[in-house]
Amino acid sequence: MVLNKMNRILALAIATLAFGALVGCNSGPGKPESIATEEKVSKAVEMRQMFDKVGGDWNKLTADEQKQFTEFAGDAQKAEFVWYRMGHPGATDGPGGSGAPSSAGPAGPR
């Protein structure tokens, strides 16, 4: 009899925990923020269009376009890295690594 009561309590506890886990998931306020927000995607598309427009030649961008690209990337170092990787999609290194182009982007000619 005691064992039967213990089994009921244990079963009830397990059921309660399972129910709580199912109901409690995603119960926070609002939706979780997407990693790739529309704004980030839009900036990435615009950056790629700028790259393609000049055939990967940073020096063909206007000063305003260079500034905008750098602002989209966050800073000059990130802009250089993004520019380089757009021209070298399979590269495992960044600007200045083996196979860096003679003009890798925002840092200008090397």
> pLDDT tens, 60-80?
999 999 999 999 999 999 999
Phi/psi for 5 (5° steps) reads -65, -40
Q: What value does the mean pLDDT take over residues 79-84?
A: 94
pTM: 0.55
Count of beta carbons in the 10 Å neighbourhood of residue 31: 7
Residue partners of 11: CB distance under 8 A and separation at least 6: none
Cβ distance 66 to 106 under 8 Å?
A: yes
Token pair, residue 54, equals 């000049």
